[in-house]
Amino acid sequence: MSDDPTTLLSKNEVLKQNDPLLAGTIAATLADPTTDRFTEDDTQFLKFHGIYQQDDRDLRKAGKKFMMMIRSRIPGGVMTAAQWITFDDLATNYGNNTLRVTTRQCIQFHGVLKSGLGALIKQIHESLLSTLAACGDINRNITASPTPAHTKVREQVYADALQSALALAPKTKAYHAIWLDHVQLDLAEPEHKAFVDPLYGPTYLPRKFKISFVVPPVNDMDVFTNDLGFIAITEGDQLVGYNVAVGGGMGRSHGNVQTFPRLADVIGFVAPEHVIEIAKAVITTFRDHGDRANRKHARFKYVVEERGVDWVRAEISRRAGVALAPARAYEFTTTGDLYGWHRAVDGSLFLTLFVETGRIKDVPGHAQKTALRQVAEKFPHIEFRLSANQNVILANVPERDRAGLTALLATHGVKVDKQTSILHAASMACPSLPTCGLALAESERMLPALIDRIEKLGGELGLGGEEIIIRSTGCPNGCARPYMAEIAFVGKAPGRYQLWLGGNAAGTRLNRVFKETVKETEIEAELRPLLTRWRDERRLGERFGDFCSRIVLPEQIPAGAAGDAAPATLS
C-alpha cells in the first residue's frame, strides 16, 4: 500500500481489494452466448489471466468488433516442438493465423473471438504452458538469454529463471476454475472471501513487474530495462553468482514530466542459491511501497528513484535475510542476436531466424509460419527458443539435420544466410494499430517500409552496411524498448512521432528526445543532416548512437534534460 494511508486508491486497487481471487464475472460471461465482450471491470481481471480485450480499430467506423489478445507465459522463451505445433494450431483455429513473438520471449495471439477463448487457453494449459500472470499487476514472464553459443553457464541461468518463475507464480484458484473447470467461484464462500496470496498479498502489486536473467557479454535481454535483473557472473564455465540490478522500466506518458524511462541500478552481488529470496524481497518492497493511487506513477523504478539506491539495497537485504556483496566486474558488448547457423558449446547446432517485427506469418514467397510448423513436425527433438529481439532460435540441432532443415526452410522461401538487411535485423516494433487500444500512431505496419527508406538514404550517403538500432512504438509506453535504441520513433498522433537518438549497442545508455514531433513523411529530411554529420565527423568506428550522444545531443539539449521525458539515468 501507499505509505500514506489516507491516499485514495485507484479504481484498479478497489477492484482487486473486492475480489482477491481475480475472478470477476468472467466465467458467467464466457457461458453467455448473447454477448461478445466482457464488462469494463472484468477486462482488468482478464489481464491477470493473460488476456486483453481489444477491438479492430480499422473497423470502428462500422462499429466496434471486439476480440482478444492472449499472451502466453513461457519462462525463458523455451518451447518444445510439440508446444510449437499446439500454438500454431491455436493461431490458425482461433486467431488471425499469425504468431506474434514479443519482446519478453512470449507468443501473443491476436484476433481471438470470445467464443474461442476458452478452448485456446485450455489447450495452452494442456501443452504445459500457461497464460496466467502474463499480464496484470504481478510479476510477468521471466526472460533469460536464449543463445547457447557462449558458455555452459547459460543452462544454469535458464534453470534459475525457470525455478524463479515457479516460485513467483500467483496462487489464485480462479484461473483453473474458470478456464479448466468452467465454474464461477462464489466470493461469498469463506475460503474464497478470505483468500490472500502468500507473496503478493490481498491486492497484488501496484502495477506490472518484470524480471530478466542475462549472460554477459551479450545483453540480449536489455536487462537494465527490467524492474529486477540478474546479471550472471562467471569464472570459466562456472556460474559464481549474479549482480542484482533494480529499478529499470520504459513506460512514460507524453507531456507528463513525472514519468520517464529509467535504467536499473546495480546494487550488489548474490550467490545463485539466494536468487529467489532476493526476487521475493524486491517484489514485496514494491508491493508495500509502490504508488497505489496514481497508476502512471505505480512502477518500482519510481520507488528506487525517490527512495534512493541505498535505502532500496538495505530494504531488500533486510527482507531477504541476505547481505548483498559488492558487485562484480562484467562487460556488455551487444544486445543483438546471432543470425544464421552457429555451434553451441555442447557441440550441437542452433539456427537463429529473423522475424520481421516479431510477426510469424505466411506471405507470398515467405511462408515462415508454415515452414516452422513443418520443422516442428519433422524434427520433434529440436527446441524452439524465442528471443527478446522478437526472433526464433531453433536449438539442439544435430549435425545430421542441418542440411535437411535448411532445405525444408528454403522450400518456403525462408533463408538461413543473408536473411535480411543489417538495419531490418537490428529493428523492433510494437504491434500498435489496429489492435492496441493505446496506440496513437502506426508502428508494426509502418516500420519495415520506413527502414527501407532509411536504407536508401544511407546508401545515397555512402553508409550502406552500417548497423543502426532502430525501434518504433505507437505510443510512449515503450513496449519495443524504444528508449534504448540509437534511433527511435515514438508515436504521438497519426503519422507523427517523437524522434529519440543516442542509445548504444550494449544496452547501457538511454537515448534522449531530439525532436518533439516529426511527420512520418519527413523523417528522411530530418535524418539526412544527422547521418551526413556522422559520416563526416565521427571517430574511427563510432556508431551512430554514440556519435549522437557525444556530439548531436549536447548541442541540442542541455546535459540532464530530455524534453518531457526527464530520464533519471543517462549513463
Ramachandran angles phi, psi of 516, nearest 5°: -65, -40
Cell of 219: 545483453
Cell 540509437 sits on residue: 486
**Could you tell me if 248 and 302 are in contact, meaning their C-beta atoms sit under 8 angstroms apart?**
no
Of the candidates 114, 48, 49, 104, the one whose C-alpha atom is nearest the C-alpha of residue 76 is 104
Cell of 6: 489516507
Q: Which of 207, 430, 471, 543 is catalytic?
A: 430
State the DSSP H helix or E strand holding residue 427, giving kind and residue range, or none if neither.
strand 427-429
Backbone CA torsion sign across 211, 279, 266, 292: positive
Is residue 300 exposed (0-12), middle (13-18) or buried (19+ Cβ within 10 Å)? buried
**Could you tell me if 298 and 292 are in contact, meaning their C-beta atoms sit under 8 angstroms apart?**
yes
Give the E-state strand segments of 216-263 in sequence order: 228-235, 238-246
Q: Which of 73, 100, 140, 301 is catalytic?
A: 140
Active-site annotation holds for 445: no
Active-site annotation holds for 548: no
Q: What are the beta bridge partners of residue 229?
A: 212, 245
Of the candidates 178, 175, 186, 132, the one whose C-alpha atom is nearest the C-alpha of residue 30 is 178
Cα–Cα distance, 390 to 571 (Å, whole number): 26
Q: Which of 292, 479, 512, 543 is catalytic?
A: 479
Q: Which of 154, 287, 373, 475 is catalytic?
A: 475
**Could you tell me if 144 and 75 are in contact, meaning their C-beta atoms sit under 8 angstroms apart?**
yes
Q: Which of 208, 292, 359, 543 is catalytic?
A: 208
Q: Which of 106, 262, 301, 436 is catalytic?
A: 436
Distance (Å) of CA 5 to CA 1, 85, 134, 258, 288: 8, 50, 30, 22, 12
Cell 505509505 sits on residue: 3
**Could you tell me if 42 and 327 are in contact, meaning their C-beta atoms sit under 8 angstroms apart?**
no
Active-site annotation holds for 210: yes
Distance (Å) of CA 242 to CA 45, 96, 160, 233, 411: 34, 41, 11, 5, 44
Name the pairing type of β-strands 362-363 and 427-429: unpaired
Q: Which of 73, 104, 154, 210 is catalytic?
A: 210
Helix axes 523-537, 447-460, angle to 10 degrees: 40
Active-site annotation holds for 479: yes
Point out the residues that are catalytic: 71, 140, 208, 210, 430, 436, 475, 479
